[in-house]
Structure 1
Amino acid sequence: MALHLTKVAFGCDDIDVLRGRLEGRAVDGGTWINTRYKPTRAAELEGGSLFWILKHQLIARSPILGFGEAEGRCLIRLDPRVVPVRLRPKRAHQGWRYLVEADAPPDLDGAVDDLAALPPALVSALAGLYLV
């Protein structure tokens, strides 16, 4: 059972901005975000995902590829893909928090979930009204 992280997508207005930011920094099939400290459960996080919080909801995830260090900071290596997930309320926080597999929202899959065909802003508005 994989362990995941949650992190606020700071400065992003929507999922497209987040996607552009991560894909724009991609090098050799991965991108990096940095944090002050390496997660104590880093070994459990490999194979998990970093779930992005935007406007108090989990909106997407990026698979975690590994960890590194540079200039005294921890680097979290991510797959630059941004995979939309079924929206789930989540309060914003500083840094990152752990998320167990049982609490992780499922991916939106167009073949299974009609919400994937809707614009992200509409899905967000419907989720804010607790209709999805």
Structure 2
Amino acid sequence: MAGGVQIDTDGVGDFGTGMQKEATDGFAEIAGRGADLHRQGVGFGARMTPSDIVTQAKVRYAEALAHSEANLRAYQTAAAVFAEVAEQIATQFAAVDVNSEQAQKQVQYLMSQAADAANRALSIDVPRGAV
């Protein structure tokens, strides 16, 4: 089809369902495991006499952990956004003529909204971690 959008609504729906499962189960499990591993904070250097170098390393390590965990949560949110829009596209376009200009504009609008929402989710501000 020249210049149009072709939508395999079954495939898009399956993608949305799979992405939603990953967002709720996969990312959540990984984020939970990471949080469990680092629940006690930064342990290295605990038996040493405190020094500026060790303290700085611990602060940087704590910040890296905080960023990693925040990124996982943000990716989980972004995955859920894209899963939702995929399911919307599959539902809305299962019985319509996707050759129409209106349908193409709706797909572009939904994808643009999803991209904006995902970008907001990925624009995280992580506070500095305490040691």
**Pairwise same-fold verdict (TM > 0.5):** no
**Normalising to structure 2: TM-score of the pair?**
0.24
Larger % of helix: which? 2
Which structure shows the bigger proportion of residues in strand conformation?
A: 1
TM-score (norm 1): 0.24
- Structure having greater relative contact order (Cα 8 Å, sep ≥ 6): 2
State which structure, 1 or 2, has the greater radius of gyration over its C-alpha atoms: 2
